Structure 1
Amino acid sequence: MRPLAAVTRSARALTLAAATLGVASALFALPAGAQAITDPPPPAPLQTPQQASESAINKLVEADKFNDALTKIDEHLKQYPRDAQVRFTRGRVLMEMGRNAEAIDAFTALTQDFPELPEPFNNLAALYAQAGEYDKARAALESAIRNNPNFATAYSNLGDVYAKLAQQTYQKSLKLAPTARVSNREKLLSNMLSPQRAAPVGQTPSPQKPGEDAAVKNIGKSGN
Protein backbone atom coordinates (compact mmCIF):
# COMPACT_ATOMS: atom_id res chain seq x y z
CA MET A 1 0.00 0.00 0.00
CA ARG A 2 1.15 3.56 -0.78
CA PRO A 3 -1.27 5.87 1.14
CA LEU A 4 0.91 8.96 0.77
CA ALA A 5 0.70 8.84 -3.02
CA ALA A 6 -3.07 8.58 -2.81
CA VAL A 7 -3.23 11.66 -0.57
CA THR A 8 -1.10 13.64 -2.98
CA ARG A 9 -3.29 12.72 -5.96
CA SER A 10 -6.43 13.76 -3.99
CA ALA A 11 -5.01 17.20 -3.18
CA ARG A 12 -4.10 17.79 -6.83
CA ALA A 13 -7.58 16.75 -7.96
CA LEU A 14 -9.17 19.23 -5.53
CA THR A 15 -6.91 22.05 -6.70
CA LEU A 16 -7.76 21.32 -10.35
CA ALA A 17 -11.49 21.27 -9.56
CA ALA A 18 -11.25 24.60 -7.73
CA ALA A 19 -9.54 26.24 -10.69
CA THR A 20 -12.17 24.87 -13.06
CA LEU A 21 -15.16 26.08 -11.02
CA GLY A 22 -13.65 29.47 -10.19
CA VAL A 23 -13.42 28.79 -6.45
CA ALA A 24 -10.80 30.89 -4.67
CA SER A 25 -7.51 29.02 -4.65
CA ALA A 26 -6.88 30.17 -1.10
CA LEU A 27 -9.42 27.62 0.12
CA PHE A 28 -7.07 24.82 -0.94
CA ALA A 29 -3.71 26.46 -0.18
CA LEU A 30 -1.33 24.77 2.26
CA PRO A 31 -0.99 26.44 5.68
CA ALA A 32 2.01 28.72 6.13
CA GLY A 33 5.18 26.70 6.62
CA ALA A 34 3.54 23.45 5.54
CA GLN A 35 5.07 21.22 2.86
CA ALA A 36 3.38 19.07 0.25
CA ILE A 37 3.37 15.34 0.88
CA THR A 38 5.66 13.61 -1.60
CA ASP A 39 7.10 10.15 -1.97
CA PRO A 40 10.70 9.79 -0.80
CA PRO A 41 13.29 9.32 -3.56
CA PRO A 42 14.24 5.71 -4.26
CA PRO A 43 17.39 4.57 -2.45
CA ALA A 44 20.61 4.58 -4.46
CA PRO A 45 21.55 1.09 -5.64
CA LEU A 46 24.17 -0.53 -3.45
CA GLN A 47 27.49 -1.50 -5.06
CA THR A 48 29.78 -4.31 -4.04
CA PRO A 49 33.45 -3.42 -3.60
CA GLN A 50 34.15 -5.07 -6.95
CA GLN A 51 31.47 -3.01 -8.71
CA ALA A 52 32.72 0.18 -7.08
CA SER A 53 36.22 -0.56 -8.33
CA GLU A 54 34.91 -1.25 -11.84
CA SER A 55 33.02 2.05 -11.81
CA ALA A 56 36.17 3.93 -10.81
CA ILE A 57 38.08 2.28 -13.65
CA ASN A 58 35.39 3.16 -16.19
CA LYS A 59 35.43 6.82 -15.12
CA LEU A 60 39.19 6.99 -15.64
CA VAL A 61 38.89 5.40 -19.08
CA GLU A 62 36.06 7.74 -20.10
CA ALA A 63 38.24 10.68 -19.05
CA ASP A 64 41.12 9.31 -21.21
CA LYS A 65 43.31 8.98 -18.10
CA PHE A 66 44.82 5.78 -19.42
CA ASN A 67 47.92 5.60 -17.21
CA ASP A 68 45.81 6.04 -14.08
CA ALA A 69 43.26 3.56 -15.42
CA LEU A 70 45.94 0.96 -16.10
CA THR A 71 47.31 1.31 -12.57
CA LYS A 72 43.81 0.93 -11.12
CA ILE A 73 43.09 -2.04 -13.39
CA ASP A 74 46.23 -3.88 -12.32
CA GLU A 75 45.33 -3.31 -8.66
CA HIS A 76 41.79 -4.55 -9.33
CA LEU A 77 42.94 -7.71 -11.10
CA LYS A 78 45.21 -8.69 -8.23
CA GLN A 79 42.03 -9.04 -6.17
CA TYR A 80 39.67 -10.19 -8.94
CA PRO A 81 41.80 -12.04 -11.50
CA ARG A 82 38.75 -13.64 -13.19
CA ASP A 83 37.00 -10.34 -13.92
CA ALA A 84 36.62 -10.71 -17.69
CA GLN A 85 35.17 -7.22 -18.17
CA VAL A 86 38.08 -5.45 -16.51
CA ARG A 87 40.60 -7.66 -18.31
CA PHE A 88 38.91 -6.68 -21.56
CA THR A 89 39.08 -3.02 -20.56
CA ARG A 90 42.79 -3.48 -19.90
CA GLY A 91 43.27 -4.62 -23.49
CA ARG A 92 41.34 -1.60 -24.73
CA VAL A 93 43.46 0.76 -22.65
CA LEU A 94 46.65 -0.79 -23.99
CA MET A 95 45.32 -0.27 -27.53
CA GLU A 96 44.59 3.38 -26.76
CA MET A 97 48.13 3.78 -25.45
CA GLY A 98 49.59 2.25 -28.62
CA ARG A 99 50.97 -0.75 -26.72
CA ASN A 100 49.61 -3.18 -29.30
CA ALA A 101 51.88 -6.13 -28.55
CA GLU A 102 50.74 -6.08 -24.91
CA ALA A 103 47.14 -5.66 -26.03
CA ILE A 104 47.46 -8.75 -28.24
CA ASP A 105 48.76 -10.70 -25.25
CA ALA A 106 45.86 -9.43 -23.11
CA PHE A 107 43.17 -10.37 -25.63
CA THR A 108 44.81 -13.70 -26.43
CA ALA A 109 44.76 -14.62 -22.75
CA LEU A 110 41.06 -13.68 -22.62
CA THR A 111 40.25 -15.93 -25.58
CA GLN A 112 41.98 -18.78 -23.79
CA ASP A 113 40.30 -18.23 -20.41
CA PHE A 114 36.88 -17.23 -21.80
CA PRO A 115 36.67 -18.80 -25.28
CA GLU A 116 32.90 -18.24 -25.40
CA LEU A 117 33.28 -14.43 -25.59
CA PRO A 118 33.37 -13.03 -29.16
CA GLU A 119 34.61 -9.50 -28.39
CA PRO A 120 38.23 -10.38 -27.50
CA PHE A 121 38.51 -12.24 -30.82
CA ASN A 122 37.23 -9.18 -32.67
CA ASN A 123 39.74 -6.86 -31.02
CA LEU A 124 42.53 -9.33 -31.68
CA ALA A 125 41.53 -9.20 -35.34
CA ALA A 126 41.65 -5.40 -35.31
CA LEU A 127 45.19 -5.52 -33.94
CA TYR A 128 46.29 -8.19 -36.41
CA ALA A 129 44.83 -6.20 -39.30
CA GLN A 130 46.73 -3.09 -38.20
CA ALA A 131 49.91 -5.19 -38.31
CA GLY A 132 49.05 -6.53 -41.78
CA GLU A 133 48.51 -10.08 -40.49
CA TYR A 134 45.24 -10.63 -42.33
CA ASP A 135 45.17 -14.42 -42.12
CA LYS A 136 45.33 -14.20 -38.32
CA ALA A 137 42.68 -11.48 -38.39
CA ARG A 138 40.40 -13.68 -40.51
CA ALA A 139 40.78 -16.64 -38.15
CA ALA A 140 40.04 -14.48 -35.10
CA LEU A 141 36.92 -12.99 -36.70
CA GLU A 142 35.63 -16.40 -37.72
CA SER A 143 35.99 -17.46 -34.08
CA ALA A 144 34.07 -14.37 -32.97
CA ILE A 145 31.23 -15.17 -35.37
CA ARG A 146 31.09 -18.80 -34.28
CA ASN A 147 30.63 -17.59 -30.72
CA ASN A 148 28.01 -15.00 -31.68
CA PRO A 149 26.42 -15.41 -35.13
CA ASN A 150 24.65 -12.04 -34.65
CA PHE A 151 27.85 -10.03 -34.06
CA ALA A 152 27.49 -7.36 -36.78
CA THR A 153 30.85 -5.67 -36.16
CA ALA A 154 32.71 -8.93 -36.66
CA TYR A 155 30.93 -9.54 -39.98
CA SER A 156 31.80 -6.02 -41.15
CA ASN A 157 35.44 -6.48 -40.16
CA LEU A 158 35.56 -9.89 -41.81
CA GLY A 159 34.32 -8.38 -45.06
CA ASP A 160 37.14 -5.83 -44.94
CA VAL A 161 39.68 -8.55 -44.21
CA TYR A 162 38.46 -10.70 -47.10
CA ALA A 163 38.69 -7.65 -49.37
CA LYS A 164 42.26 -7.00 -48.21
CA LEU A 165 43.22 -10.62 -48.81
CA ALA A 166 41.68 -10.37 -52.29
CA GLN A 167 43.68 -7.22 -52.95
CA GLN A 168 46.90 -8.96 -51.95
CA THR A 169 46.02 -11.88 -54.22
CA TYR A 170 45.46 -9.53 -57.16
CA GLN A 171 48.80 -7.84 -56.43
CA LYS A 172 50.56 -11.21 -56.60
CA SER A 173 48.79 -11.95 -59.88
CA LEU A 174 49.92 -8.61 -61.32
CA LYS A 175 53.54 -9.40 -60.49
CA LEU A 176 53.32 -12.72 -62.30
CA ALA A 177 51.20 -11.75 -65.31
CA PRO A 178 49.81 -8.19 -65.43
CA THR A 179 46.40 -7.74 -67.08
CA ALA A 180 44.06 -4.78 -67.31
CA ARG A 181 41.22 -6.75 -65.67
CA VAL A 182 43.24 -7.67 -62.60
CA SER A 183 44.78 -4.20 -62.43
CA ASN A 184 41.36 -2.54 -62.43
CA ARG A 185 40.09 -4.82 -59.70
CA GLU A 186 43.16 -4.25 -57.56
CA LYS A 187 42.76 -0.47 -57.92
CA LEU A 188 39.09 -0.73 -57.01
CA LEU A 189 39.90 -2.60 -53.82
CA SER A 190 42.78 -0.27 -53.03
CA ASN A 191 40.50 2.78 -53.27
CA MET A 192 37.86 1.10 -51.15
CA LEU A 193 40.22 -0.08 -48.41
CA SER A 194 42.73 2.76 -48.11
CA PRO A 195 40.93 4.55 -45.24
CA GLN A 196 39.56 1.40 -43.64
CA ARG A 197 40.65 -0.16 -40.38
CA ALA A 198 39.09 -3.09 -38.60
CA ALA A 199 36.82 -1.73 -35.90
CA PRO A 200 37.47 -2.81 -32.32
CA VAL A 201 34.70 -2.99 -29.78
CA GLY A 202 34.78 -1.31 -26.42
CA GLN A 203 32.98 -3.61 -24.07
CA THR A 204 32.52 -7.30 -23.55
CA PRO A 205 29.66 -9.04 -21.78
CA SER A 206 30.37 -10.69 -18.46
CA PRO A 207 30.78 -14.45 -18.77
CA GLN A 208 27.70 -16.45 -17.88
CA LYS A 209 27.59 -17.75 -14.33
CA PRO A 210 26.14 -21.17 -13.56
CA GLY A 211 22.37 -20.97 -13.28
CA GLU A 212 22.15 -17.49 -14.82
CA ASP A 213 21.16 -16.22 -18.25
CA ALA A 214 23.97 -14.56 -20.17
CA ALA A 215 23.80 -10.82 -19.48
CA VAL A 216 24.92 -9.00 -22.60
CA LYS A 217 26.02 -5.44 -22.13
CA ASN A 218 25.95 -2.82 -24.84
CA ILE A 219 29.09 -2.44 -26.91
CA GLY A 220 30.84 0.84 -26.23
CA LYS A 221 32.84 2.85 -28.75
CA SER A 222 32.01 0.36 -31.43
CA GLY A 223 32.84 0.98 -35.02
CA ASN A 224 31.16 -0.24 -38.19
Structure 2
Amino acid sequence: MHRFLYIVIFILSTGPVFAASSIQNLQHLIDQKLYDQAARSGEKLLQKHAGDPDIEFLTAYAYQMNQQSGKAAKYYQELIRQYPELPEPRNNLAMIYLSDGDYDSASELLVNAINTHRSYATAYANLSNIYTGIASEAYRRAVSESNEPDSYANNIELTALTRLTPVRARATAESGLTEKSATSLTLVNQLIGWAKAWSEKDLDAYLGYYSNEHKLDYPTHRAWVEHRKKRILRPGFIRIEVGNFRIRAQSTNRATIDFDQSFNSLGYSDRVTKRIRLNRINSKWKITDERVLSVL
Protein backbone atom coordinates (compact mmCIF):
# COMPACT_ATOMS: atom_id res chain seq x y z
CA MET A 1 0.00 0.00 0.00
CA HIS A 2 1.54 3.28 -1.10
CA ARG A 3 1.62 6.12 1.36
CA PHE A 4 2.15 9.68 0.20
CA LEU A 5 3.98 12.43 2.03
CA TYR A 6 3.94 15.84 0.46
CA ILE A 7 6.77 18.32 0.00
CA VAL A 8 5.58 21.87 -0.55
CA ILE A 9 7.15 24.36 -2.95
CA PHE A 10 5.90 27.89 -2.44
CA ILE A 11 6.74 31.55 -3.02
CA LEU A 12 7.01 33.43 0.24
CA SER A 13 7.25 37.12 -0.44
CA THR A 14 6.22 39.92 -2.72
CA GLY A 15 9.67 41.41 -3.28
CA PRO A 16 11.09 43.66 -5.99
CA VAL A 17 10.89 42.80 -9.68
CA PHE A 18 14.50 41.57 -9.80
CA ALA A 19 13.78 39.13 -6.98
CA ALA A 20 10.62 37.87 -8.67
CA SER A 21 12.53 37.29 -11.91
CA SER A 22 15.29 35.42 -10.08
CA ILE A 23 12.76 33.29 -8.26
CA GLN A 24 10.99 32.46 -11.52
CA ASN A 25 14.28 31.30 -13.04
CA LEU A 26 15.06 29.23 -9.97
CA GLN A 27 11.56 27.76 -10.00
CA HIS A 28 11.98 26.89 -13.67
CA LEU A 29 15.14 24.88 -12.94
CA ILE A 30 13.29 23.00 -10.22
CA ASP A 31 10.34 22.34 -12.51
CA GLN A 32 12.81 20.83 -14.98
CA LYS A 33 14.22 18.69 -12.13
CA LEU A 34 17.65 20.25 -12.59
CA TYR A 35 18.18 20.20 -8.85
CA ASP A 36 21.97 20.43 -8.79
CA GLN A 37 21.91 23.44 -11.09
CA ALA A 38 19.06 24.97 -9.10
CA ALA A 39 20.97 24.61 -5.82
CA ARG A 40 24.08 26.25 -7.29
CA SER A 41 21.96 29.02 -8.80
CA GLY A 42 20.24 29.56 -5.46
CA GLU A 43 23.57 29.88 -3.66
CA LYS A 44 24.72 32.54 -6.14
CA LEU A 45 21.48 34.46 -5.74
CA LEU A 46 21.81 34.39 -1.96
CA GLN A 47 25.23 36.04 -2.24
CA LYS A 48 23.39 39.05 -3.68
CA HIS A 49 20.14 38.73 -1.75
CA ALA A 50 21.17 37.21 1.58
CA GLY A 51 18.25 36.17 3.74
CA ASP A 52 15.66 36.27 0.97
CA PRO A 53 13.08 33.70 2.17
CA ASP A 54 11.90 32.72 -1.31
CA ILE A 55 15.39 31.94 -2.53
CA GLU A 56 16.35 30.21 0.70
CA PHE A 57 13.31 27.97 0.53
CA LEU A 58 13.74 26.98 -3.11
CA THR A 59 17.47 26.42 -2.60
CA ALA A 60 16.69 24.17 0.36
CA TYR A 61 14.16 22.26 -1.73
CA ALA A 62 16.70 21.81 -4.54
CA TYR A 63 19.24 20.43 -2.07
CA GLN A 64 16.61 18.14 -0.58
CA MET A 65 15.64 16.68 -3.94
CA ASN A 66 19.33 16.35 -4.83
CA GLN A 67 19.86 14.10 -1.79
CA GLN A 68 21.81 16.75 0.13
CA SER A 69 19.56 16.79 3.17
CA GLY A 70 22.12 18.36 5.51
CA LYS A 71 22.34 21.55 3.45
CA ALA A 72 18.57 21.59 2.97
CA ALA A 73 17.94 21.21 6.70
CA LYS A 74 20.23 24.16 7.47
CA TYR A 75 18.14 26.49 5.31
CA TYR A 76 14.81 25.13 6.59
CA GLN A 77 15.94 25.63 10.19
CA GLU A 78 16.96 29.21 9.45
CA LEU A 79 13.59 29.90 7.81
CA ILE A 80 11.79 28.48 10.84
CA ARG A 81 13.86 30.75 13.08
CA GLN A 82 13.23 33.86 10.96
CA TYR A 83 9.62 33.13 10.01
CA PRO A 84 8.07 31.00 12.78
CA GLU A 85 4.58 31.70 11.41
CA LEU A 86 5.27 29.71 8.22
CA PRO A 87 4.22 26.03 8.17
CA GLU A 88 5.95 25.05 4.90
CA PRO A 89 9.60 24.92 6.08
CA ARG A 90 8.53 22.74 9.01
CA ASN A 91 6.65 20.43 6.65
CA ASN A 92 9.67 19.87 4.42
CA LEU A 93 12.14 19.57 7.29
CA ALA A 94 9.85 16.90 8.75
CA MET A 95 10.37 14.89 5.56
CA ILE A 96 14.13 14.98 6.14
CA TYR A 97 13.74 13.77 9.72
CA LEU A 98 11.40 11.04 8.54
CA SER A 99 13.91 9.82 5.94
CA ASP A 100 16.40 9.50 8.82
CA GLY A 101 13.90 7.40 10.76
CA ASP A 102 13.28 10.11 13.35
CA TYR A 103 9.49 9.77 13.58
CA ASP A 104 9.18 11.77 16.81
CA SER A 105 10.92 14.89 15.46
CA ALA A 106 9.02 14.65 12.17
CA SER A 107 5.69 14.37 13.98
CA GLU A 108 6.53 17.28 16.28
CA LEU A 109 7.39 19.50 13.32
CA LEU A 110 4.14 18.65 11.55
CA VAL A 111 2.09 19.35 14.67
CA ASN A 112 3.84 22.72 14.91
CA ALA A 113 3.15 23.34 11.21
CA ILE A 114 -0.54 22.78 11.85
CA ASN A 115 -0.35 25.05 14.89
CA THR A 116 0.98 27.91 12.75
CA HIS A 117 -1.88 27.68 10.28
CA ARG A 118 -5.07 25.92 11.20
CA SER A 119 -6.07 25.04 7.62
CA TYR A 120 -2.71 23.59 6.57
CA ALA A 121 -4.05 20.33 5.16
CA THR A 122 -0.70 19.08 3.81
CA ALA A 123 0.87 18.88 7.26
CA TYR A 124 -2.26 17.23 8.62
CA ALA A 125 -2.18 14.58 5.87
CA ASN A 126 1.53 13.98 6.40
CA LEU A 127 1.09 13.58 10.14
CA SER A 128 -1.68 11.06 9.59
CA ASN A 129 0.56 9.14 7.19
CA ILE A 130 3.40 9.07 9.71
CA TYR A 131 1.07 7.64 12.36
CA THR A 132 -0.16 5.05 9.87
CA GLY A 133 3.41 4.22 8.90
CA ILE A 134 4.53 3.74 12.48
CA ALA A 135 1.63 1.37 13.08
CA SER A 136 2.27 -0.53 9.84
CA GLU A 137 5.95 -0.91 10.71
CA ALA A 138 4.98 -2.28 14.11
CA TYR A 139 2.72 -4.82 12.39
CA ARG A 140 5.50 -5.87 10.01
CA ARG A 141 7.96 -6.43 12.81
CA ALA A 142 5.40 -8.23 14.97
CA VAL A 143 4.42 -10.58 12.16
CA SER A 144 7.97 -11.29 10.98
CA GLU A 145 9.50 -11.23 14.48
CA SER A 146 12.27 -9.23 12.84
CA ASN A 147 14.67 -6.92 14.62
CA GLU A 148 15.63 -5.15 11.42
CA PRO A 149 15.55 -1.33 11.47
CA ASP A 150 12.31 0.39 10.53
CA SER A 151 11.83 0.33 6.77
CA TYR A 152 8.76 2.54 6.35
CA ALA A 153 10.69 5.73 5.59
CA ASN A 154 12.37 4.02 2.63
CA ASN A 155 9.01 3.40 0.95
CA ILE A 156 7.72 6.97 0.92
CA GLU A 157 6.84 8.65 -2.33
CA LEU A 158 7.32 12.41 -2.25
CA THR A 159 4.87 14.54 -4.20
CA ALA A 160 5.71 18.20 -4.87
CA LEU A 161 2.97 20.82 -4.58
CA THR A 162 3.19 24.49 -5.61
CA ARG A 163 1.90 27.10 -3.19
CA LEU A 164 2.19 30.85 -3.74
CA THR A 165 2.00 32.27 -0.24
CA PRO A 166 3.34 35.75 0.61
CA VAL A 167 5.09 36.15 3.96
CA ARG A 168 2.88 39.06 4.97
CA ALA A 169 -0.25 37.09 4.24
CA ARG A 170 1.03 34.24 6.39
CA ALA A 171 2.07 36.61 9.16
CA THR A 172 -1.42 38.07 9.40
CA ALA A 173 -3.31 34.82 8.82
CA GLU A 174 -5.39 33.45 11.62
CA SER A 175 -3.18 30.95 13.39
CA GLY A 176 -3.55 28.32 16.07
CA LEU A 177 -4.81 24.78 15.96
CA THR A 178 -8.57 24.88 16.35
CA GLU A 179 -10.25 22.60 18.82
CA LYS A 180 -11.88 20.73 15.94
CA SER A 181 -8.54 20.12 14.20
CA ALA A 182 -6.92 19.00 17.43
CA THR A 183 -9.78 16.59 18.03
CA SER A 184 -9.43 15.24 14.48
CA LEU A 185 -5.80 14.36 15.18
CA THR A 186 -6.81 12.69 18.43
CA LEU A 187 -9.49 10.62 16.69
CA VAL A 188 -7.17 9.43 13.92
CA ASN A 189 -4.51 8.50 16.46
CA GLN A 190 -7.18 6.70 18.49
CA LEU A 191 -8.14 4.46 15.56
CA ILE A 192 -4.52 3.70 14.73
CA GLY A 193 -3.95 2.66 18.34
CA TRP A 194 -7.08 0.51 18.19
CA ALA A 195 -5.81 -1.27 15.06
CA LYS A 196 -2.38 -1.75 16.62
CA ALA A 197 -3.86 -3.33 19.77
CA TRP A 198 -5.95 -5.64 17.59
CA SER A 199 -2.92 -6.69 15.53
CA GLU A 200 -0.84 -7.34 18.63
CA LYS A 201 -3.67 -9.35 20.23
CA ASP A 202 -3.55 -7.06 23.25
CA LEU A 203 -7.10 -7.86 24.31
CA ASP A 204 -7.30 -5.49 27.28
CA ALA A 205 -6.00 -2.55 25.23
CA TYR A 206 -8.29 -3.44 22.31
CA LEU A 207 -11.41 -3.65 24.48
CA GLY A 208 -10.40 -0.42 26.20
CA TYR A 209 -11.16 1.48 22.99
CA TYR A 210 -14.86 0.52 23.24
CA SER A 211 -17.70 1.88 25.31
CA ASN A 212 -19.12 -0.46 27.93
CA GLU A 213 -22.43 -0.08 26.11
CA HIS A 214 -21.10 -1.37 22.79
CA LYS A 215 -22.62 -4.71 21.84
CA LEU A 216 -22.90 -4.65 18.03
CA ASP A 217 -25.56 -7.26 17.16
CA TYR A 218 -25.14 -9.24 20.37
CA PRO A 219 -27.66 -9.15 23.23
CA THR A 220 -25.20 -7.65 25.73
CA HIS A 221 -21.79 -6.03 25.86
CA ARG A 222 -20.47 -9.06 27.75
CA ALA A 223 -21.63 -11.41 24.98
CA TRP A 224 -19.85 -9.28 22.40
CA VAL A 225 -16.67 -9.27 24.53
CA GLU A 226 -16.69 -13.07 24.76
CA HIS A 227 -17.10 -13.32 21.00
CA ARG A 228 -14.21 -10.94 20.35
CA LYS A 229 -12.02 -12.70 22.90
CA LYS A 230 -12.40 -16.02 21.07
CA ARG A 231 -11.74 -14.44 17.68
CA ILE A 232 -8.73 -12.38 18.66
CA LEU A 233 -6.96 -14.94 20.84
CA ARG A 234 -7.26 -17.84 18.42
CA PRO A 235 -3.85 -19.19 17.24
CA GLY A 236 -2.10 -17.41 14.38
CA PHE A 237 -1.20 -13.87 13.49
CA ILE A 238 -3.53 -10.95 12.81
CA ARG A 239 -2.49 -7.90 10.83
CA ILE A 240 -4.73 -4.84 10.56
CA GLU A 241 -3.92 -1.75 8.53
CA VAL A 242 -6.11 1.35 8.54
CA GLY A 243 -5.98 4.55 6.51
CA ASN A 244 -7.82 7.04 4.30
CA PHE A 245 -9.65 8.49 7.29
CA ARG A 246 -12.72 10.65 6.56
CA ILE A 247 -14.31 12.41 9.49
CA ARG A 248 -17.96 12.59 8.49
CA ALA A 249 -19.41 14.28 11.54
CA GLN A 250 -17.90 15.78 14.63
CA SER A 251 -19.11 17.68 17.66
CA THR A 252 -17.77 18.23 21.14
CA ASN A 253 -18.68 14.76 22.35
CA ARG A 254 -19.54 12.72 19.24
CA ALA A 255 -17.76 11.78 16.03
CA THR A 256 -18.29 9.55 12.99
CA ILE A 257 -15.29 8.37 10.97
CA ASP A 258 -15.12 6.36 7.75
CA PHE A 259 -11.85 4.64 6.87
CA ASP A 260 -10.36 1.77 4.88
CA GLN A 261 -9.29 -1.36 6.72
CA SER A 262 -7.11 -4.24 5.55
CA PHE A 263 -7.38 -7.49 7.55
CA ASN A 264 -4.92 -10.36 7.14
CA SER A 265 -4.64 -13.62 9.06
CA LEU A 266 -3.39 -17.12 8.36
CA GLY A 267 -6.61 -18.31 6.76
CA TYR A 268 -8.48 -15.16 5.80
CA SER A 269 -7.98 -11.65 4.44
CA ASP A 270 -10.18 -8.80 3.25
CA ARG A 271 -10.29 -5.06 2.58
CA VAL A 272 -13.34 -3.07 3.60
CA THR A 273 -14.56 0.43 4.24
CA LYS A 274 -15.74 0.84 7.82
CA ARG A 275 -17.69 3.42 9.76
CA ILE A 276 -17.02 3.88 13.44
CA ARG A 277 -18.94 6.13 15.80
CA LEU A 278 -17.32 7.42 18.97
CA ASN A 279 -18.54 9.26 22.04
CA ARG A 280 -16.42 11.23 24.46
CA ILE A 281 -16.95 9.53 27.82
CA ASN A 282 -15.17 10.92 30.89
CA SER A 283 -12.84 12.90 28.59
CA LYS A 284 -11.90 9.78 26.57
CA TRP A 285 -13.17 8.83 23.11
CA LYS A 286 -14.84 5.40 23.06
CA ILE A 287 -16.23 3.38 20.15
CA THR A 288 -20.00 3.02 20.40
CA ASP A 289 -20.75 1.52 16.99
CA GLU A 290 -18.73 -0.22 14.26
CA ARG A 291 -20.06 -1.18 10.82
CA VAL A 292 -18.72 -2.41 7.48
CA LEU A 293 -19.96 -0.11 4.72
CA SER A 294 -18.53 -1.90 1.69
CA VAL A 295 -16.00 -4.46 0.50
CA LEU A 296 -13.05 -3.05 -1.44
TM-score range, shorter chain: 0.5 to 0.7
Give how far 1:195 is off.
Answer: 4.3
Cross-structure match for 2:118: 149
CA deviations 1:60-106 (Å, max 9, x no partner) are 22222223222221121122223211111011100111111221222
- Count residues with an aligned counterpart: 155
Task: Check if 1:206 corresponds to 2:166.
Answer: yes
Measure, in 1, the Cα distance between the counterparts of 2:85 and 2:45.
Answer: 23
Query: Corresponding residue for 2:43?
Result: 74
Choose from 29, 40, 49 the match for 2:18.
Answer: 49
Distance 2:153 2:56 in 1: 31
Cα separation, 2, equivalents of 1:194 and 1:54: 31
SS at match of 1:115: coil
Check whether the contact 2:98–2:153 (CA below 8 A) recurs between aligned residues.
no
Structure 2 alignment gaps of length 5 or more: 1-15, 145-149, 174-243, 245-296
CA distance in 1, matches of 2:108, 2:124: 12
1:90 is aligned to 59
Tell me which protein shows more helix as a share of its residues. 1
Pairwise mapping of residues 130-209 of structure 1 onto structure 2 (< 5 A)? 130-167=99-136, 174=142, 183=143, 195-197=155-157, 201-203=161-163, 205-208=165-168
Q: How does the TM-score come out when normalised to structure 1? A: 0.58
Asked if the contact 1:119–1:203 (Cα under 8 Å) also holds between the matched residues in 2, the reply is no
Q: Does 1:127 align with 2:78?
A: no
Q: CA deviation at 1:131?
A: 1.2
CA distance in 1, matches of 2:62, 2:154: 26
Structure index of larger Rg: 1
Runs of 4+ with deviation above 4 angstroms: 167-172, 192-195, 197-204
Q: Is the strand fraction higher in 1 or 2?
A: 2
Alignment of 1:14-29 (within 5 A): none
Matches of 2:36 and 2:79, distance apart in 1 = 21
5+ residue gaps, structure 1: 1-46, 175-182, 185-189, 215-223
Distance 1:197 1:138 in 2: 17
Conserved? CA contact 1:153–1:199, under 8 Å: no
- Kindly indicate whether residue 77 of structure 2 is the aligned counterpart of residue 108 of structure 1: yes
Measure, in 2, the Cα distance between the counterparts of 1:103 and 1:128.
Answer: 11
| Aligned-residue offset at 1:207 | 1.3
In structure 2, the CA distance between the partners of 1:110 and 1:204, relative to structure 1 (3 Å rule), is farther
DSSP-derived class of the 1:68 partner: helix
SS of 1:120 mapped into structure 2: helix
